[in-house]
Amino acid sequence: MAVVNKRTLVDSGTRHVVMFEINNATNDAVQVIDASALTGHVSNPTLDISSIKWNTTAATSDVAIEFDAGTDSHAISLHGSGEYGYHGKQPNISNPEATGVTGDIVITNASAVTGTFILEVKKTKGYTASGQTR
């Protein structure tokens, strides 16, 4: 596992923001957000991705952000540097809640990458402030 310097920036009743780095390594479904450890967790959590900023050495190789489940559900592939969700017209990336969903967010990259990520999620189900406990 090569997710390092993971730091929670916000953990409110309705959203969570985490910053982390990859240090020149590959990752296979490495957890970057543990949904059940967040503030307000009740049961069966679901998180939707609101926004992401990234800066990586992965100009041509994928860094995949995925929703953890029996078979992980792909959320978005990241390359180089960029952002998603900061312009108001980009929708949340919804967790499809596949069989065996845990609510966690994981990262996978097949080749060595170095980079920094800021990931913001919305607590959509399974939290006291989300209004739904599934």
CB 109 within 8 A of CB 78: no
pTM for the whole structure:
0.91
Q: Read off the pLDDT band of 44 (50, 70, 90).
A: very high
Q: Taking Cα atoms as reference points, which of 65, 59, 54, 107 lies closest to residue 79?
A: 59
The least confident of 22-26, 53-57, 60-64, 119-123 is 60-64
Per-residue pLDDT, 131 = 60
CA dihedral 15, 23, 104, 51 (to 10 degrees): 40
- CATH architecture for segment(s) 3-127: Sandwich (2.60)
The per-residue pLDDT of the chain, averaged, comes to 91
Please tell me the distance from the alpha carbon of residue 85 to that of residue 100, in angstroms, as a whole number.
27
- Residue ranges per domain, the chain? 3-127
Per-residue pLDDT, 134 = 47
Percent of the chain scored above 70 by pLDDT?
93
Per-residue pLDDT, 132 = 56
